[in-house]
């Protein structure tokens, strides 16, 4: 089987991301990765509609990434959209804008499809496929909880819980007050207890029983927030996939970063090594979700994967 150069453009609630890769069966070797923050979900949770400015910015980014992918020889280009487009009353406006920008039909994928692809993408890393994992994909508008091992996917669910959605639901000042952090933690504790635990806890118990030789399920974070947590822990200004994926974050480290970053102004956060300037605001709520899941389900450690749904989508790209 020969390599095929393929591309996926992922339209998320917070940003548009590009992956161009050499694909050979289940082997995915990135050639180009890029991202632009377009804030498609801005103002969405008040109106349930995608805003014209956000649609225009997103379509422009898609068009630019389409040209970049074609310029370096991508044979197939696929454009997918997740939470904000999925939940909007007017996804047709975005679909039309993307069609005009690059001539491609935007695929709005379901939460279950997003969860499955996130798992398959992460499992394309052989180091993660040896033991049962709970994969946590914290996005802008949704968070996917996926439980399984290797090719065996035993639980998946997409919750309407994301960094941008939480930022609008539990607003904070600049700098955030201690009460803002307490309010965010309290809201998340209630949400996890009422919405997530009833489904996830039995699935975790079944997974531990099924794979008793491993003693525990490992927590793996995928997506921008998890990668940034690894980068700030390692003081990494540059993106280094191997170093990010070698990082292990303890509960103490994650909580420590929450306490620290929730106490400084946005301008100060932007100066911290490892934090991309455009993510310095939404990072606060994203990392709070990881902290809350670790506390609620007693995970002592967070591992990080840089391979998410785009890696699976590009494998499926016909």
| Domain 125-310 is found in CATH 3.30.420.150 | yes
Look up residue 21 and give its two tokens: 């890769």
| Residue 1: predicted pLDDT | 62
- Global confidence as pTM: 0.92
| Residue 316: predicted pLDDT | 84
Positive/negative CA dihedral, 127, 133, 137, 138: negative
| Residue 124: predicted pLDDT | 83
| Residue 318: predicted pLDDT | 46
| Residue 209: predicted pLDDT | 84
Query: What ranges do the domains of the chain cover?
Result: 4-109, 125-310
Look up residue 101 and give its two tokens: 């920008």
Please determine whether the domains at 4-109 and 125-310 fall in the same fold group of CATH: yes
pLDDT along the chain (318 residues), means of 10: 90 95 90 94 86 96 98 96 93 97 96 91 80 92 92 91 91 95 97 97 90 80 94 92 94 98 96 93 96 97 94 82
Q: Which CATH number fits domain 4-109: 3.40.50.720, 3.40.190.80, 3.30.420.40, 3.10.50.40?
A: 3.30.420.40
Sheet strand arrangement including 143-149? 152-159, 143-149, 133-138, 218-222, 301-305, 248-250
């Amino acid at each position: 089987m020969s390599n095929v150069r393929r591309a996926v453009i992922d339209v998320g609630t917070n940003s548009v991301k590009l992956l161009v890769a050499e694909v050979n069966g289940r082997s995915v070797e990135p050639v180009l990765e890029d991202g632009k923050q377009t804030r498609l979900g801005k103002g969405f949770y008040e109106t349930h509609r995608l805003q014209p400015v956000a649609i225009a910015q997103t379509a422009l980014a898609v068009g630019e990434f389409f040209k970049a992918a074609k310029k370096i020889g991508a044979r197939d280009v696929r454009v997918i959209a997740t939470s904000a487009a999925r939940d909007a009353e007017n996804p047709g406006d975005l679909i039309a804008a993307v069609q005009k920008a690059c001539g491609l039909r935007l695929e709005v994928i379901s939460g279950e499809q997003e969860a499955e692809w996130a798992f398959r993408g992460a499992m394309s890393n052989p180091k993660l496929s040896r033991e049962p994992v709970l994969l946590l994909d914290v996005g802008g508008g949704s968070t996917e909880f996926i439980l399984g091992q290797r090719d065996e996917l035993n639980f998946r669910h997409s919750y309407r819980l994301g960094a941008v959605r939480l930022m609008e639901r539990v607003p904070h000042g600049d700098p955030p007050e201690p009460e803002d952090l307490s309010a965010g933690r309290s809201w998340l504790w209630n949400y996890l207890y009422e919405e997530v635990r009833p489904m996830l806890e039995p699935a975790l118990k079944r997974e531990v029983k099924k794979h008793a030789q491993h003693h525990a399920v490992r927590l793996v974070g995928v997506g921008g927030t998890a990668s940034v947590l690894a980068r700030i822990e390692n003081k990494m200004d540059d993106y280094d996939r191997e170093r990010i994926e070698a990082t292990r974050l303890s509960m103490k480290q994650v909580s420590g970063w929450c306490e620290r970053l929730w106490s400084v102004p946005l301008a100060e956060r932007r100066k911290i090594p490892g934090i991309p300037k455009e993510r310095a605001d939404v990072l606060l709520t994203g990392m709070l979700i990881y902290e809350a899941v670790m506390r609620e389900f007693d995970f002592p450690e967070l591992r990080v994967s840089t391979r998410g749904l785009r890696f699976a989508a590009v494998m499926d790209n016909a």
